[in-house]
Amino acid sequence: MNKVLVINGPNLNLLGTREPEIYGKHTLANIESITLKLLKKNQILCTVEWFQSNSESEIVDKIQSLMGDNVDLLVINPGAYSHTSVAILDALKSISIAKIEVHLSHTLKREEFRHKKLTALGCDAVIEGLGPVGYFTAISSQEYKKKFTK
């Protein structure tokens, strides 16, 4: 794997201060650092680009920009848009690269409206409830998938 794009949706810029009892005390910058350190420690070589937006249209535009781009994996935490955004779902379905949805919390143990993830229908897998390690798990899963499916 060479290039990974990580998209983080609304309110994830507030990590560390927003509901730390649910999302933990790590900021988004901390999560990026943890992920990169774990990738290096496990000798998973790739370039990771991080993008965060509170705007649904900016997220859709970023996903659509991957058409024909040289990205091997999209990791997306659409935040609350996971439960509501047909636009992001349609954008995810429009690209043919590997896509993994990540959630910091275990959404099935939360409010009922969080149990349904529209955007997950456009992804190959969903990883949730692992906190910051979920991002590393998503990226590394593709590397190990290559090794074990040969």
Q: Examine residue 89 and state whether it is found in any structural domain, yes or no.
A: yes
Residue 135 is among the residues annotated as catalytic for this protein: no
From first to last of the 150 residues of the chain, give the pLDDT tens digit.
589 999 999 989 987 787 667 766 889 999 999 999 999 999 998 999 999 999 999 999 999 999 877 899 999 999 999 999 999 999 999 999 999 999 987 777 667 866 689 999 999 999 999 989 999 999 998 765 655 555
Q: How many CA atoms lie within 13 A of 103 on its CB side?
A: 24
Does 27 fall in a domain? Answer: yes
46-49: long-range contacts at Cβ-Cβ below 8 A with a sequence spacing of 24 or more?
Answer: 46/1, 46/2, 46/3, 46/4, 46/72, 46/139, 46/143, 47/2, 47/3, 47/4, 48/3, 48/4, 48/5, 48/6, 48/139, 49/3, 49/4, 49/5, 49/6
Residue 106 lies in a domain: yes
For residue 91, give Cα distances in angstroms to 62, 71, 94.
9, 15, 5
| Structure tokens, 92 | 């995810």
For 143, the domain range is 10-49+66-148
| CATH number of the domain bearing residue 121 | 3.40.50.9100
Helices and strands counted in the chain (H then E): 5, 5
Q: Give yes or no: 106 in active site.
A: no
Tell me whether residue 119 is in a domain: yes
Residue 54 belongs to a domain: no
Q: pTM (2 decimals)?
A: 0.88
Q: Which of 103, 115, 135, 144 is catalytic?
A: 103
Residue 132 tokens read as: 């910051």
Task: Give the list of residues 6+ apart from residue 19 with CB closer than 8 angstroms, or none.
Answer: none
Our count of domains for the chain comes to: 1
Assess if residue 55 is contained within a domain.
no
81 domain-assigned: yes
Note whether residue 99 is domain-resident.
yes
